[in-house]
Amino acid sequence: MKALLYPLLCLASLMQALRISAQTTEPALKITHLTGDFYVYTTYKPVNGNPFPSNSMYLVTSKGVVMFDTPWDTTQFKPLMDSIQARHNKPVVLCIATHSHDDRTAGMSFLQHNGVPTYSSKLTYELCAEHPERRPEHYFTGDTTITIGNHTFQTYYPGEGHTKDNIVIWFANEKILYGGCLVKSIENNGLGNVADANISAWAPSIKKVMKRFRKPTYVIPGHFGWSGKKALKHTLKLIKKAR
């Protein structure tokens, strides 16, 4: 029995070491070119002892760089700004938060101190009142079309879902839907954090997005991969399963 136990313990130790090695080799900041002037950046925070990815996006325009949400990992605020400057030789001129959780708003104060205007919906602005360091400086009311340099995009509030304030952003020319945490990756097996969710309203909100923005070329979820185009339908399946 002892002869069998020792190899098993060694194997367990080896597997644990491999898991730790895999965790520590994950880059703290990953920037991926999506298409044209669009980039997805991913930062990580430990969840249950494992690095958990959070996706955000930025757009390079003729007037400067627009960020959609901020890094979740607070150590990556400056590295992201430095990387943007080094890659594109342009400043960040605007950041829009898509809801009030810290995986979208953690860098608001940092950006403001660096002279970057920060915006959100009025509802997100109000929900951030309990976290002043994460509160955007400005807000817009209702769905808004914004033009920065050579790019135009729309913000859209479809209703409650992951949170009561979640919005999506649509880039009509490129047919890119930045879904944030309202949309789940096809890699997800569940809805994740539902502490502030409205499960009964989530599916109708997704259906509104699908009806309004048809046949997107890319759908960017708040967490995990975005390689598939079926993230919206997959989110509906997960909602049905949760209910």
So which residues are the catalytic ones?
99, 101, 103, 162, 193
CA atoms within 13 A on the CB side of 223: 21
**Cα–Cα distance measured from residue 235 to residue 128, given in angstroms and rounded to the nearest whole number:** 26
Q: What's 213's DSSP letter?
A: S
Q: Which long-range contacts (CB under 8 A, 24 or more apart) does 36-45 make?
A: 36/174, 37/61, 37/151, 38/171, 38/174, 38/176, 38/218, 40/220, 40/226, 41/71, 41/80, 43/71, 43/72, 43/73, 43/76, 43/80, 44/72, 44/73, 45/72, 45/73, 45/103
**Cα–Cα distance measured from residue 124 to residue 101, given in angstroms and rounded to the nearest whole number:** 9
- For the chain, how far is it from start to end, CA to CA, in angstroms? 47
Nearest by Cα to 31 from 84, 68, 91, 72: 84
Q: Give me the amino acid identity at 212.
A: R
Listing DSSP states for 110-158 in one string gives HHHHTT--EEEEHHHHHHGGG-GGG--SEEE-SS-EEEETTEEEEEE--
**Which tokens is 214 given?**
């048809």
